[in-house]
Structure 1
Amino acid sequence: MARKIGFYGVLAYVLYGLFFYWYLFHFADTSLQFEYEGSKADPATFLNGRELMLSEEYSKIRNLLFFLSTPFEWLFYLFILLLGFGNAFKKWAGQSTKFKLVQTAIYLFWLSLFAFLATTPISYISYALSKSYNISTQSFSSWMKDELIDFWVNFGMMIIIVGVLYWLINKSSKRWWLYAWLLSIPFTLFLMFLQPVIIDPLYNDFYPLKDKELEAKILALADKADIPAEHVFEVNMAEKTNALNAYVNGIGSNSRIVLWDTTLNRLNDEQILFIMAHEMAHYVEKHIYFGIAGYLLLSLVGLYLTARIMEYVIGRWGNVLKIPQVNDIRSLPLFLMILSMLLFISSPLSNFVSRYQELRADQFAIEMTRDTQAGIETFQELTRAGLSQVNPPLLVKIFRYGHPTMLERISMIEEFEINNKVKETK
């Protein structure tokens, strides 16, 4: 039975991969509709022939890697269960110590290590791809350092999460999912509070914006939007990437407005102010808090479904998967696999909500700055710097895009521009 499940798992993954290869490279049409040809959203008007070719090539390969990587994770957990690695990890943990919490940490270490070794090749391919297309400027040693930081940060958090999770499962086999969700609320808020000052600096250096004249303009814009900002931060990303970005993260007194130095190097002040107005919209419209609420709602549904699915799977195939019961630590790969599947399935919904919020932020930025030229040039430069597709395939948009497509963003500004001119002539 284990061989049969493993065979069908591999077969499903291969067929899934072939489908997305066919879809991305042979079926999906990324050309623009006739009415957009020659507009400011048409990449042929602001990218040269080589940039057009590279953006299509890079996007197709990157999208294929995205669609292959998540199901590969499911396949990894399935084979951990089928091949009995969970038994080996538990045995090694039991031989090392008698303390339950330390046993859990050791089990987690081995599971995390095997997952790291299994997924690193795909991560490296993604890194090498971005390097070959001149998106990444990061050295291999720097990339490997970030991967190892990821490993230890995730491992540290998993010790806490998994330790509490299985304690709850042992205490309440029926309602553990509800108690886990209730505890996740303060934990999520605590992590968001810590991220800007503890976690993010592990990867990059953050410091107050050096260009004080630009900072004054940004803070004046923040004051106009009634945002109590005192500092704008920049982060040294040029040693890692040529892509552009800016964001607001954190909550409460630890919230930050952050600009990548690549953005500062490639955009002029008007374009940067447009980006800042966009980011300020998230604060003004409380998108961060709506995002937290949405995440917590989805996690409640996700934990409930995970609990029910785990009970069913272990009840039916527990012997094959070598999981005696839900409260056994060997059920963790199954828990992670189901949760990952549910996150993937729910991503179209979360991306849809995110795209709506980003569109609102774009509209806010246009209304606030009234600088349509800066907005259009900013999105054109973002397309060039990231070799992005202006009009990505539908499935890519649904599963990958948390922002509107560049076609939608630039066209929205052009429409605003036209409507404004019509009003002025009346």
Structure 2
Amino acid sequence: MVRKMGVYAVLAFCLYGLFFYWYLFYFADASLPFEYQGSKADPSTFLNGRELDLSGEYSKIRNLLFFLSTPFEWLFYFLILLFGFSKAFKRWADQSAKYKMLRMPIYLIWLSLFAFLATFPLSYISYSLSRTYHISTQTFTSWMKDELIDFWINYATWLIIVPVLYWLMKKSKKRWWLYGWLLSVPFTLFMMFLQPVVIDPLYNDFYPLQNKELETKILTLAEKADIPAKNVFEVNMADKTNALNAYVTGIGSNARIVLWDTTLNRLNDNQILFIMAHEMCHYVEKHIYFGIAGYLLLSLLGLYLTYKIMNWAVRKWGKELKIDDVRDIRSLPLFFMILSMLLFAASPLTNLASRYEETRADKYAIEMTKNPEAAISSFQELTRSGLSEVNPPFLVKIFRYTHPSMLDRISMLEEYEIKHRNQ
């Protein structure tokens, strides 16, 4: 039975992968609708022939890797349970630690290490792909450093969460999901507060914007929007990527607007001011706090569903999965697998909410700057630098895109430009 379940799982993953390969490379149509051809959203008007070809190739492969990576994690955790590795991790932890409090950290390091090694090939392929298409400029050593930072941050996070979670399971078999969620609220807010000042600097160097003339323009724009901003930060990204970006991060007194130095190097002041106005909208309309509230509500539902599905799975297949009790640490891969599945299933909804906020931010920015030419050209340059698809396939858009497609964004700006040109 165990061998049959393993074969079926691998076969299901292969069929899933073949479906998305067929969908992305043969079925999905990323060409522009007729009415947009020749418009400023048409990539043929601002990309050369080679850039168009590279954009199509890169997007298809990158999208395929995205659709393979998350289900591969599910397969990994399922096989870890099915073939007794989770049971072995617990045995190794029990044998190597005299003190009980050390056994869970040892179990976690084994599980984390095996997960890192299993997913490393896909991560490396993604890194190599971005290097091949000149999106990434990062050396292997620098990339590997970031991967190891990810590993230890994730391990440290789970080292805090998992012991508390399984202690709650033992204390309250039916309500642990609720108590776990209540504790996650302050923890989430605390991590959001720490993110800009503790976690982000582990990866890159942050410093106040060096171009003081541009900083004055940005702060004037912030004052116009009633934002009490004192500093804009730039981050050194040119050693890692050719892509452009800007974002808002953190909460409370640690909230900050960040510009990549690649953005500063490749866009002019008017284009940057449009991008800054876009980011200011997230502050003005409190999108970060709505996002946190939405995340917490979804996590409540997610933990409840995880509780129900874990109990059902252990009742039905506990013997095959080598799990006697949900409250046993051996069930952790099952917890991770179910949680990942639920996050993937929820991504169309969360992405839809994010795209709505980003559309609001685009409209806010163009109303504030009233410079559609700068806005359109900034999006065109973003498309070029990241070899982005202007009109992604439907499944790619709903599962991957937290921002509107460039077709939607540029065509909205072009409509604004036409409307105000005739006034």
TM normalised by structure 2 equals 0.99
- Taking the TM superposition and a 5 Å limit, the aligned residue runs for 1:248-287 are 248-287=248-287
Distance 1:382 1:320 in 2: 49
Query: Are 2:6 and 1:2 equivalent residues in the alignment?
Result: no
* 2:299 match: 299
Distance 1:241 1:155 in 2: 26
| CA-CA distance at 1:382 after TM superposition | 0.2
* 2:242 match: 242
Distance 2:43 2:114 in 1: 43
Distance 2:289 2:100 in 1: 37
* 2:369 match: 369
Distance 1:202 1:286 in 2: 27
- Taking the TM superposition and a 5 Å limit, the aligned residue runs for 1:166-181 are 166-181=166-181
* 2:84 match: 84
1:226-281 residue CA offsets vs partner (Å, 9 max, x unmatched): 11110010000000000000001000000111000000000000000000000000
Distance 1:100 1:41 in 2: 61
CA contact (8 A) 1:271 1:375 kept: yes
Distance 2:12 2:188 in 1: 34
Amino acid at match of 2:250: G
- Taking the TM superposition and a 5 Å limit, the aligned residue runs for 1:30-109 are 30-109=30-109
Distance 1:100 1:22 in 2: 50
CA contact (8 A) 1:41 1:410 kept: yes
- Taking the TM superposition and a 5 Å limit, the aligned residue runs for 1:188-199 are 188-199=188-199
CA contact (8 A) 1:69 1:122 kept: yes
Distance 2:68 2:133 in 1: 20
* 2:232 match: 232
Distance 2:191 2:131 in 1: 31
Structure 2 stretches lacking a partner, 5+ long = none
Runs (4+) of structure 1 moved beyond 3 Å? none
Amino acid at match of 2:119: T
* SS state at 1:238 partner: coil
Distance 1:357 1:218 in 2: 21
| CA-CA distance at 1:110 after TM superposition | 0.1
| CA-CA distance at 1:417 after TM superposition | 1.3
CA contact (8 A) 1:127 1:136 kept: yes
Distance 1:99 1:162 in 2: 18
Amino acid at match of 1:39: S
Distance 1:7 1:229 in 2: 57
* 2:354 match: 354
* SS state at 1:230 partner: coil
Amino acid at match of 2:126: S
Distance 2:317 2:100 in 1: 26
Count of paired positions: 423
Distance 1:99 1:373 in 2: 66
* 1:131 match: 131
Amino acid at match of 1:324: D
Amino acid at match of 2:103: Q
- Taking the TM superposition and a 5 Å limit, the aligned residue runs for 1:179-218 are 179-218=179-218
Query: Are 2:337 and 1:315 equivalent residues in the alignment?
Result: no
Amino acid at match of 2:305: L
Structure 1 stretches lacking a partner, 5+ long = none
Query: Are 2:408 and 1:402 equivalent residues in the alignment?
Result: no
Distance 1:101 1:64 in 2: 42
* SS state at 1:326 partner: coil
Distance 2:171 2:417 in 1: 61
| CA-CA distance at 1:99 after TM superposition | 2.9
* SS state at 1:319 partner: coil
- Taking the TM superposition and a 5 Å limit, the aligned residue runs for 1:16-27 are 16-27=16-27
Distance 1:296 1:47 in 2: 41
Amino acid at match of 2:375: G
1:188-238 residue CA offsets vs partner (Å, 9 max, x unmatched): 000000000000000000001100010011011011101111001000000
Amino acid at match of 1:283: Y
* 1:421 match: 421
Distance 1:261 1:407 in 2: 26
| CA-CA distance at 1:420 after TM superposition | 1.6
| CA-CA distance at 1:321 after TM superposition | 0.2
Distance 2:364 2:70 in 1: 34
Name the Cα RMSD after superposition: 0.6
CA contact (8 A) 1:101 1:163 kept: no
Distance 1:240 1:417 in 2: 35
TM normalised by structure 1 equals 0.99
Query: Are 2:132 and 1:122 equivalent residues in the alignment?
Result: no
Amino acid at match of 1:35: E
| CA-CA distance at 1:101 after TM superposition | 2.8
* 2:112 match: 112
Percent identity among equivalent residues?
Answer: 75
* 2:14 match: 14
Distance 2:393 2:98 in 1: 54
* 2:151 match: 151
| CA-CA distance at 1:131 after TM superposition | 0.1
Distance 2:116 2:33 in 1: 43
CA contact (8 A) 1:219 1:230 kept: yes
